Structure 1
Amino acid sequence: MASTIRVGVVGCGFYAQNHLNSWHELRREGADLTAVCDVDPAKAEAAGGNFGVPHYTDAAKMLDAEKLDVVDIVTRHETHRPLAELAIGKGVAAIVQKPFATTWDDCVAIVDAADKAGIWLAVHENFRFQTPMRHVKRVIDSGAIGRPTWARINFRTGYDIYKTQPYFYNEERLAIADVGIHVIDLARFFLGEVAHISCETQRRNPKVRAEETATMMLRHESDAVSVVECTYGARKLPDPFPETLLEIEGETGAIVVGIGLRMSVTSNGQVSEESIGSPLRSWTSEPWHASQEGAFNACQHFLDCLKRGVPADTSGEDNLKTFALVDAAYKAAEEKRAVEPENWRRKA
């Protein structure tokens, strides 16, 4: 592709502001935020005015009117498949917000459509792009703790997520599908692919239709084991929201990330500590900064991949492995047994 990448954003709601600000800031690196779209006319007009670009309420009309290189889809999951297939049908690359789609079949259909059309496709799975998690991966890749053999990765908060996203009260799937998917993806990122998963879910908040707590155990193909936890019902103070806390043990050492984004590394009997936070950007704020910067880093990665014509680390095909584990976790909880994740390539 050209050195300038023309970006259209579909969805101008709460979290989409992070995408919009990211693409706007990345203009220095070759991103051109060209147009925005939202079915809510007020949100579309506000985003268009804030970023000085044309706004639309119909994605098809935006794609017909604007010459775009990529569409960033930041909408509800039930709209992901039709919007992604619309972009792919127009020959436009697509970035799809997590969760990739509502069902496994929808996810596979999007990947198949992109494959057949030869269109670049990525999923905006941003936890692995958060600055603290990049620090952890750097330590693992350096060999400082040896081969990872065990981990506990958790996102436990009592932050009122329902205030800005009230539709969470009525979701059929909640904790695992919304935030557990991120933490599962981190387990893959740090310890590799997963052979099987076990899961226990809880609905401790009577106002919520679905599970708001999940405790999962993953056996990785490397024989490592990870415990992955997520809840929106934590009562502990201080609340680390939106930090991901973890412990990873390896053959020769360990990594611990605690509240306040402090990382402790034990390597061959020696202990070192460092802060793994980062300064606020002009448009980020506490407590959301770590998440907001993760969105920026993900967009920056996608921009670089588009310019070089290479797959993203979180390509559609890669994200199927994470989505398969989400489905497997729900099945494991329902059937009270360990479940192997779906492998669509094996069946092809």
Structure 2
Amino acid sequence: MTQLELKPDPDIRVNKFKIGCIGAGMIMAECHLAAYAEAGFDVVAIASRTASRAAEVAKRWSIPVVHDTPAALITDPDVEIVDIAYPPDQQPALIRAALAAPNVKAILAQKPLALTLEEAIALRDEAVAAGKILSVNQNMRFDQSMQVLKQLLDQGALGDPVFAQINMNAIPHWQGFLAEYDRLTLANMSIHHLDALRFLFGEVAEVTSVTRQDPRTSFDHDDGIVATTLRFASGVLALSLEDVWAGPRQDGFEDDQVITWRVEGTKGVAKGSIGWPTGAPSTLSYASATHSNGKWVTPEWDTMWFPHAFIGVMEQLQYAAETGTEPALNVADNVRTMALVEAAYQSIEHGKTVRMNDIKHGTGGTTT
């Protein structure tokens, strides 16, 4: 039986750069900053739309400087990496300000990078022109089950991948600003799963998406519950389901929210669950004809998607800044995920399969 090397969490190779955080909501306060504290990353400043909220978060995480505005933080000479957790309609302006700031070496943006593919392409090209590193926080790639699954695939334990599926039957806590947009689930929830599938299997050849409204979501929306079929250039067929209804949840109704996944190959099968929204570690089990004699193996770990995956996200950016290489989560790659989201919306709008060759996004360049 061939020995497998499986690591649920990446090594911390670099943690020297000074971080300025923009935003003080849940994702920053509970995920970014919790991960950075555990990893020993140096957060030197914070700013948000509400100075008092930023001050509360700064006190909790011992951040020495609170700026009145994001603009002041971006030009703070001590800030080398700008970490943005802001609504996507406001994010491009902050990215552009950071690209123009001489003290800033690298930027971590949230997904979606922008509200449109065109804006994402523009930001990609502007980062190249500025010679700055722009990375996008597709943190599901650093979920422990996704990391180990990728290693199983790369080491051949599953053979050639044939079929994959991600099933989400869980209720998101939609942020208030999303009510102002005309795009909901695909751009803000499915994007996790679509990007993770690209991480695992490469580029998509064609996409078909269907949707219906979510009965629970009270504000207007086009894409509520979404089911997407992906055919990859390699031949892999994949399904991504975002069932954001997940059934009624009145008092006394037992909660069974869950996200599960399964990958089948010519030599093995892997299956697992994502710890969100239960607050438990993600899980993975695999059976391989070549690496486990067909028996099921279940590695275990203590770390979780939230917050520990955010360590890997920031580490890959710090490593890129230190070495002058492209980050693993580079903006050119993220534009291809944005193009996949755009293709899914076009599939819904026109009621047909959309070929990715028809979604023009250019090849982009490197920032190093």
Q: What is the identity percentage for the equivalent residue pairs of Structure 1 and Structure 2?
A: 24
Partners of 1:55 and 1:80 lie apart in 2 by 19
The TM-score with structure 1 as length reference comes to 0.88
The TM-score with structure 2 as length reference comes to 0.83
* Cα distance change on mapping 1:80 and 1:52 into 2, 3 Å: closer
1:219 corresponds to 2:231: yes
AA aligned opposite 1:213 = I
1:329 corresponds to 2:344: yes
The residue number in structure 2 matching 1:267 is 288
Partners of 2:142 and 2:199 lie apart in 1 by 10
The residue number in structure 2 matching 1:344 is 361
The residue number in structure 1 matching 2:278 is none
Q: CA deviation at 1:270?
A: 0.5
* Cα distance change on mapping 1:306 and 1:212 into 2, 3 Å: same
1:68 to 79, 82, 85: 79
AA aligned opposite 1:191 = F
1:15 to 27, 46, 57: 27
Q: For 1:148-201, what per-residue CA distance to the aligned partner results, in whole angstroms no more than 9, with x for missing partners?
A: 12111122213x614xx3444554211111110000011111111101100001
More helix by share: 1
The residue number in structure 2 matching 1:155 is 168
Q: CA deviation at 1:275?
A: 4.4
* Alignment: residue pair count: 330
Q: Secondary structure at the match of 2:26?
A: coil
The residue number in structure 2 matching 1:283 is none
* Cα distance change on mapping 1:222 and 1:339 into 2, 3 Å: same
Q: Secondary structure at the match of 1:246?
A: strand
The residue number in structure 2 matching 1:80 is 91
* Cα distance change on mapping 1:157 and 1:338 into 2, 3 Å: same
1:1-348 mapped onto 2 (5 Å cutoff) = 4-17=16-29, 18-27=31-40, 31-50=41-60, 51-91=62-102, 92=104, 93-158=106-171, 161-162=173-174, 165-205=175-215, 207-210=218-221, 211-235=223-247, 239-241=256-258, 244-258=259-273, 261-268=282-289, 270-276=294-300, 278-279=301-302, 289-341=304-356, 342-345=359-362
The residue number in structure 1 matching 2:6 is none
Contact 1:154 1:183 in 2 (8 A): no
Over aligned residue pairs, what C-alpha RMSD do you find?
Answer: 2.2
Q: For 1:89-127, what per-residue CA distance to the aligned partner results, in whole angstroms no more than 9, with x for missing partners?
A: 113221101111111111111111110111111001100
Partners of 2:111 and 2:245 lie apart in 1 by 22
Contact 2:170 2:257 in 1 (8 A): yes
Q: CA deviation at 1:225?
A: 0.9
* Cα distance change on mapping 1:267 and 1:9 into 2, 3 Å: same
Of residues 56-65 and 120-129 in structure 1, the stretch that sits farther from structure 2 once superposed is 56-65
Q: CA deviation at 1:16?
A: 1.0
Contact 2:185 2:225 in 1 (8 A): yes
Structure 2, gaps ≥5 residues long: 1-13, 249-253, 276-281
Partners of 1:308 and 1:331 lie apart in 2 by 39
* Cα distance change on mapping 1:3 and 1:25 into 2, 3 Å: closer
Partners of 2:90 and 2:274 lie apart in 1 by 36
AA aligned opposite 1:127 = M
Partners of 2:315 and 2:333 lie apart in 1 by 18
* Cα distance change on mapping 1:203 and 1:170 into 2, 3 Å: farther
Q: CA deviation at 1:343?
A: 4.0
Partners of 2:207 and 2:347 lie apart in 1 by 7
Partners of 1:323 and 1:347 lie apart in 2 by 13
Partners of 1:346 and 1:72 lie apart in 2 by 25
